[in-house]
């Protein structure tokens, strides 16, 4: 068992998790601070018979993983903010055509080229609303190297289960930090594969849903189903339609297949919530500083509690609901000027006080800064 313990980076854990989840195709374009993910995929995928390709740009990388996934292969790309922006149109394509895939965004500082090797958490809203139109999305954000491994496995499982692009929203601290990781025994790891139509089904409709979860079975190219996939609004046959009713039903189904399954998707971690008067809610590497700050506050006799939202989208509303009756204040530290806090404000709806701790200078938020805020609001 001990040889399953390794020292590795977040980016490395992401690749290990992806391969364990069955990823066999990676297309990407180099961008800091996600580069190690591409480099490791280039090295490791051929060893398991998988394929790596460095495409000509970020848009092409996103396109290539959708193409690969349509052949039945689990596929991933990784990037950072500027590349993530470029991928957005094709992420929308994957959402509408219900093609499973995983997009890793190791966030960096600033708009535009910004701060290439400095941490930030400024892509929370881009991850939710980056592509145009109403669309489903799942976004997961790990706070440690080990968690990155499991979050990446989960990302593939959700992608396959719900036929949706899943975003792993990391930050540079997690991507580049080295930590001790205990890898699981692969036989114990839950790996989900997409549901396929019954073999030889003659009247296969690629977007016909007959299950409660709202997810249609997915055939692969080359298996004789001869189905059509288009980014246009389509009916159950996969062909374009402008029928308002069918259009409405499709968009609502896409949203609902995530919304109705949110209790399966949502994961959060909590500590000392029971009697807490001040809650610190955070995600990614900032959640680590928040946790430390809460522990320091407890040592000083302050009734503080901690929440980490591992799932960012759909937003874990029930955790905010749960503390609203009991706590006085929620503090939301994040490395942006206030993005996830908007969701906290929405759910809290004036029921408790909300405070922010923000940094946009390319430096991470320290436990002391969070502790100082806890003391301020005490």
Partner 1 sequence: MQHHLEKYFRMDKLPHIWCPGCGHGILMGAVVRAIDNLKLEQDKICVVSGIGCSSRAPGYMNFDTLHTTHGRALAFATGIKLAKPELKVIVVTGDGDCAAIGGNHLIHAARRNIDITTIVFNNNIYGMTSGQYSPMTPKGAYATTAPYGNVDRNFDLCKLAMAAGATYVARGTAYHTNQLIKFIEDALNHKGFSLVDAVSICPTYFGRKNKLGNAINMLKWQKDHAVSVSVAEKLPPEKLEGKFLIGKFHKSEEPEYVEEYDKIIKKAQEGRK
* Contacts to partner 1 by CB under 8 A: 24-25, 27, 43, 46-47, 49, 51, 53, 55-57, 59-61, 63-73, 75, 89-90, 93, 220-232, 239-240
Could you please report the per-residue DSSP string of 156-174?
Answer: HHHHHHHT-EEEEEEEHHH
> Residue 247 CB, nearest distance to partner 1 (Å)?
17
Please name which of 71, 70, 39 lies closest in space to residue 54, comparing C-alpha atoms.
39
Q: Toward partner 1, which CB reaches closer, 26 or 315?
A: 26
What minimum distance in Å lies between the beta carbon of 242 and partner 1?
12
Q: How far apart are CA 76 and CA 26, in angstroms?
A: 5
Q: How far is CA 208 from CA 94, 218, 238, in A?
A: 17, 10, 9
Shortest spacing between CB 250 and partner 1, in angstroms: 16
Q: Quick one: 30 or 231, whose CB is closer to partner 1?
A: 231
Q: In angstroms, what is the minimal distance from the CB of 31 to partner 1?
A: 16
Q: Which is nearer to partner 1, 27 or 370 (CB)?
A: 27
Q: Which is nearer to partner 1, 31 or 140 (CB)?
A: 31
Measured from the CB atom, the residue of 70 and 344 that comes closer to partner 1 is 70
Handedness of CA 104, 307, 356, 286 (dihedral sign): negative
Q: Closest distance between partner 1 and the C-beta of residue 89, in Å? A: 6
Residue 53 Cβ vs partner 1, minimum distance, rounded to whole Å: 6
Degrees, nearest 5: CA angle 183-184-187: 140
Whichever of 71 and 113 has its CB closer to partner 1, that residue is: 71
Spatial separation of the C-alpha atoms in residues 64 and 90, rounded to whole Å = 10
Residues facing 305 on adjacent strands: 279
Whole-angstrom Cα distance, residue 47 to residue 42?
A: 10
| CA 75 – CA 41 distance, rounded (Å) | 11
Q: How many other CB atoms are found less than 10 A from the CB of residue 325?
A: 8
Pick the closer one to partner 1 by CB: 61 or 282.
Answer: 61
Q: Output the smallest distance, CB 13 to partner 1, in A.
A: 21
- Least distance from partner 1 to the Cβ atom of residue 329, Å: 45
Q: Is 147 helix (H, G, I), strand (E, B) or coil?
A: helix
Which is closer to partner 1, CB of 86 or CB of 174?
A: 86
Residue 12 is given by DSSP the state H
Please enumerate in sequence order all residues whose Cβ is within 8 A of that of 322, keeping only pairs 6 or more positions apart, or say none.
273
Measured CA to CA in angstroms, residue 350 lies from 164, 184, 330, 354, 366 at distances of 33, 43, 11, 9, 28
């Amino acid at each position: 068992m001990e040889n399953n313990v390794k020292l590795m980076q977040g980016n490395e854990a992401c690749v290990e998790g992806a391969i364990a989840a069955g990823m066999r195709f990676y297309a990407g374009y180099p961008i800091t601070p996600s580069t190690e993910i591409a480099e490791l995929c280039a090295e490791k995928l051929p060893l398991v018979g998988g394929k790596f390709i460095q495409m000509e740009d970020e848009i092409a990388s996103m396109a290539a993983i959708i193409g690969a996934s349509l052949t039945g292969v689990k596929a991933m790309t990784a990037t950072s903010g500027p590349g993530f922006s470029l991928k957005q149109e094709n992420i929308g394509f994957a959402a509408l055509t219900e093609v499973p895939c995983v997009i890793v965004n190791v966030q960096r500082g600033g708009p535009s080229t910004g701060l290439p090797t400095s941490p930030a958490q400024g892509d929370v809203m881009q991850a939710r609303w980056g592509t145009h139109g109403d669309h489903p999305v799942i976004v997961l954000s790990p706070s440690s190297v080990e968690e990155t491994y499991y979050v990446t496995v989960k990302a593939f499982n959700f992608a396959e289960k719900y036929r949706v692009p899943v975003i792993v929203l990391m930050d540079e601290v997690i991507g580049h930090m080295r930590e001790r990781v205990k890898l699981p025994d692969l036989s114990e790891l839950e790996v989900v594969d997409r549901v396929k139509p019954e073999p030889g089904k003659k009247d296969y409709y690629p977007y016909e849903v007959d299950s409660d979860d709202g997810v249609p079975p997915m055939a692969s190219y080359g298996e004789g189903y001869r189905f059509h996939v288009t980014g246009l609004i389509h009916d159950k046959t996969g062909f374009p339609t402008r029928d308002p009713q069918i259009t409405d039903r499709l968009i609502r189904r896409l949203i609902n297949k995530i919304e109705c399954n949110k209790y399966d998707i949502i994961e959060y971690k909590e500590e000392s919530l029971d009697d807490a008067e001040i809650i610190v809610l955070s995600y990614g590497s900032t959640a680590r500083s928040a946790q430390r700050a809460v522990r320091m506050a407890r040592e000083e006799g302050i009734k503080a509690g901690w929440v980490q939202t591992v799932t960012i989208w759909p937003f874990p509303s029930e955790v905010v609901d749960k503390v609203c009756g009991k706590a006085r204040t929620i503090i939301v530290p994040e490395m942006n000027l206030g993005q996830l806090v908007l969701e906290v404000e929405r759910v809290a709806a004036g029921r408790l006080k909300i405070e922010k701790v923000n940094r946009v200078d390319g430096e991470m938020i320290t436990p002391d800064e969070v502790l100082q805020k806890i003391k301020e609001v005490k």
